[in-house]
Amino acid sequence: MTTTERGQAQGALKGLQVLEFGQYIPGPMLGMLLSDQGADVIKVERPGGDPARSEPAFATWNRGKRSVVLDLKTPEGQAAAVGLAKRADVVIENYRPGVADRLGIGYDTLSKGNPGLLYCSIPGFGEESRHRNERGWEGIVSASTGVYQHIDGNDEPLFLPLPTASTFAAIVASVSVAMALLARDRTGKGQRIEVPMHSAMFSAIGRHLVKLYDISPPDLFDLPRNVMSHQYKCADGRYIQSHGMYLRFASQLMTAAGRPEWIEDLEDLYGAEVAPETVAMWKDRFEKMFLERTAQEWEDAIAESKGAGATCKTIDEWLVHEHAIAGKMVIEIDDAQYGRMKQPGVQVRLRGTPGAVQGRAPKLGEHTSEVLAELNNGSAPSATPKAGNENIMSALEGVRVLDLCIVLAGPTCGRTLAEFGADVIKIDDPSRPYDMSGNIDVNRGKRSIQINLKTKEGLEVFYKLLETADVVVENNRKSSLERLGISYEQVSKRKPAIVYASLNAFGYDGPWSERPGWEQLAQATSGMQVRRGGRDSAPKLLPYPMNDYGTGLMGAYAVALALHERNRTGKGQSVDSGLALTAGLLQSPYFLDFKGYQRDEPEGLGVRGFSARSRLYAASDGWMFFHCPDNGAWDRLVQLSEFAGLASDGDDDALTQSLTQILAAKPRGEWEKLVNPTGVSVIANRTVDEFRDDADVRKAGLIVGRDHPGMGNADHLGSVAKLSETPMRVGRPTPVLGAETDQILSEAGYTGEQIEALKLSGAVVQHQT
């Protein structure tokens, strides 16, 4: 796909007016996600332009927008901004708290002239944080949320060059804006939304926040997690990421390997606690086995046997891969500065009202005259009409969801819909293995029923529940759903207005669309693992399952867009996304190519940052992140006696050595007090265990501790976005699987006698307390 100048908008957000005061990554990426679904995004830039214009990825983050230059420090600039805001549906800003107010574009000011305005702020830190008024630089937020971890026994933390905090802030904000738009469809009211980067990162941490205080359940996934799901070196020196958390994958991998004699022994170890020496024995077997073929030969053989595995590729290989191109994970834009340019494709796919990249990124101020002329002559479109007058507490109040998902991405979508007020019924297979920590993480706020959909009676129960459902969410392969009789085509024949969301590993377009996959495979094939481990070393996983959680959230975004469209047309549709699509979004600074581009990105286990002025350093009491944003801040820093004599330019390695010696002399807290007032930012590099019980984290509700049925007291993720009129909710504690089977069936109209008959037939299971 090649996109040039701005085209005709299409998508569920066609007609939506967005005014973006975004800079760097989070605000502009949110604007991009809205533009890709049809919104008209006007990017307001300072006279010198967005500082990120120096980055090639600016062309991605700002594609499809119009650029207007306004000096918000002048009365004329402020007046023009206020005038544009009166006609906007959404305003985006990612300044520090208070800056927008000082510039005359704060929520209180703009909402007076436009009560239906959805105003989204993306600061670095939330209201409860002691860092609230500090700049939320990517490295600073990532260090404070456990992104830079120690791996493989290394006594130094490993830097991650991906803008994960900025990306998750944009993702969570896109969900929040879409949900607020849904609420406005019904109430006619605007509201204020705040998504701090620090808070949004907790969505990416996910199951790593779960802590069980009263029980220690056995690890029934020991062998698949440590043997089946692992990177193995192959005959050509490259690595394959194998996977297979469920029983059937053992036979599929052994079939691919030509080792049928190992199948029974492997299968006996699934769902059981396995001795460490047994795990080590199988690990040794697998290491020797994978050395027998090249990585590509293994990938092909595993795919042929319908198993799970992918070669650990570089990002350059993925950018030209047949599936990435056919699946439109990689698209081409004719950019004004870089020419023909590869970029990430549209992340979520609405099949009834598909989005599209509207055009290249604008030149600085390219549309100033056009937009101001529209404003001055009254020809600019007014904000989208707001028709409803309902009184609701949650954006999805009255919406019912059937959640058929497993693992993380799909259930995260369902959980997010529950957080915004939907009644989510989680449908589980009674025979599927049970992961207690994962269940707590992604299934709170839902009700649980166990249905055997492979039985005639179980299928009838599903279709009975469908009668009152608005949304179905699933993350199975399309062919398996067709065999069960619950594919979108089959379901929509019964209920045309249904919104049917599908999430998988490799997306629903292209030759890999039917391949099974997990987080590790998306990281492997998209270049993430190779970057983290280094091209000449073993590949390494990201610190958190970010593709899973990002895809689940984007699934919720797609559902909200489809429901918004249904509010206008009454029509349902299918929507979908995949982990490999999210991988492109997370890698946006590097997920690009153009003629003359020189790829020079930090990779490998020795990476501690981008440069001497933005990297991890050891203080006297632990590691911290040090970030100097500009020369002005550096000049103020070197006025301090501790830093006197440091050069502002010159050899980066020499400066790193000098700063290493200086910063080792004091503890992190002292450096924060001394350095931060200069404009250089310093913050402690911390792990989840180190910030789990922080008073500001608990007060903000980012980690919540409470009792869960059958599991006792447990910590888990709380709410990460604030909406003034329809706030997120943590929801009820995570239910035991099948805890509400009787209740849900009764609500659906089944009599007590019919429910007992369904249980006796094996079609449903009710958990017995």
Q: What is the pLDDT of residue 381?
A: 59
Residue showing tokens 């028709």: 387
* Helices 164-187 & 579-586 angle (0-180, nearest 10): 120
CA distances to 63, 90, 342, 560 from 183, rounded to whole Å, are 28, 13, 36, 10
Beta strands 40-45 and 17-21, pairing class: parallel
Task: Let me know: does 144 contact 157? Beta carbons within 8 Å.
Answer: no
Instruction: Please provide residue 229's backbone torsions phi and psi, each rounded to the nearest 5 degrees.
Output: -100, 90
Task: Let me know: does 95 contact 22? Beta carbons within 8 Å.
Answer: no
How many other C-beta atoms lie within 10 A of the C-beta of residue 445?
Answer: 24
Q: What is the mean pLDDT of residues 299-321?
A: 98
Question: Closest Cα partner for 12 from 36, 47, 41, 44?
Answer: 36
Amino acid in the structure at residue 329: M
Output the CA torsion sign for 561, 410, 530, 686. positive
* Whole-angstrom distance, CA of residue 560 vs CA of residue 176: 9
* Whole-angstrom distance, CA of residue 505 vs CA of residue 527: 15
Q: Which residue has the higher pLDDT, 613 or 649?
A: 613
Please say if the pLDDT value at position 384 is more than 70.
Answer: no
Q: What is the pLDDT of residue 3?
A: 43
Q: What is the pLDDT of residue 602?
A: 95
Instruction: Report the DSSP beta bridge partners of residue 335.
Output: 339
**What is the pLDDT confidence band of residue 349, given thresholds at 50, 70 and 90?**
very high
Please say if the pLDDT value at position 2 is more than 50.
Answer: no
Task: Let me know: does 22 contact 100? Beta carbons within 8 Å.
Answer: no
Q: What is the pLDDT of residues 263-285, one digit of tens each?
A: 999 999 998 889 999 999 999 99
Residue showing tokens 């969570």: 172
**Which two tokens mark 132?**
């609230």
* Whole-angstrom distance, CA of residue 194 vs CA of residue 49: 24
**What is the pLDDT confidence band of residue 741, given thresholds at 50, 70 and 90?**
very high
Question: Closest Cα partner for 642 from 627, 659, 624?
Answer: 659
**Which two tokens mark 355?**
């989005």
Question: Closest Cα partner for 474 from 508, 439, 521?
Answer: 508
Q: What DSSP state is assigned to residue 123?
A: -
Helix, strand, coil percentages, rounded to 5, for the chain: 40, 15, 45
Q: Which residue has the higher pLDDT, 379 or 399?
A: 399
**What is the pLDDT confidence band of residue 7, given thresholds at 50, 70 and 90?**
low
State the average pLDDT for the chain: 95
Q: Of the given ranges (449-453, 564-568, 690-694, 707-711), which has the lowest mean pLDDT? A: 707-711
Question: Closest Cα partner for 288 from 257, 265, 311?
Answer: 257
**What is the pLDDT confidence band of residue 647, given thresholds at 50, 70 and 90?**
confident
Q: What is the mean pLDDT of residues 433-457?
A: 92
**What is the pLDDT confidence band of residue 444, given thresholds at 50, 70 and 90?**
very high
Q: What is the pLDDT of residue 494?
A: 97
Amino acid in the structure at residue 582: T
Please say if the pLDDT value at position 221 is more than 90.
Answer: no
**Which two tokens mark 118?**
């959805």
**What is the pLDDT confidence band of residue 219, given thresholds at 50, 70 and 90?**
confident
**Which two tokens mark 611?**
């440069």
Share of the chain above pLDDT 90, in %: 92
Q: How many residues does the chain have?
A: 769
Whole-angstrom Cα Rg for the chain: 26
Side-chain-facing half-sphere of 266: CA atoms under 13 Å: 26
* Whole-angstrom distance, CA of residue 162 vs CA of residue 138: 9
- pTM for the model stands at 0.97
Task: Let me know: does 449 contact 741? Beta carbons within 8 Å.
Answer: yes
Q: What is the pLDDT of residues 487-544, one digit of tens each?
A: 999 999 999 999 999 999 999 999 999 999 999 999 999 999 999 999 999 999 999 9
Q: What is the pLDDT of residues 285-298, one digit of tens each?
A: 999 999 999 999 99
Instruction: Please provide residue 447's backbone torsions phi and psi, each rounded to the nearest 5 degrees.
Output: -105, 150
* 728 contact partners, CB below 8 Å, separation of at least 6: 419, 420, 719, 720, 721, 722
- Vertex 542 angle, CA 426 and 137, to 5°: 100
**What is the pLDDT confidence band of residue 583, given thresholds at 50, 70 and 90?**
very high
Output the CA torsion sign for 63, 69, 72, 75. negative
Sheet with 593-594, strands from edge to edge, namely 2-3, 330-335, 339-344, 593-594
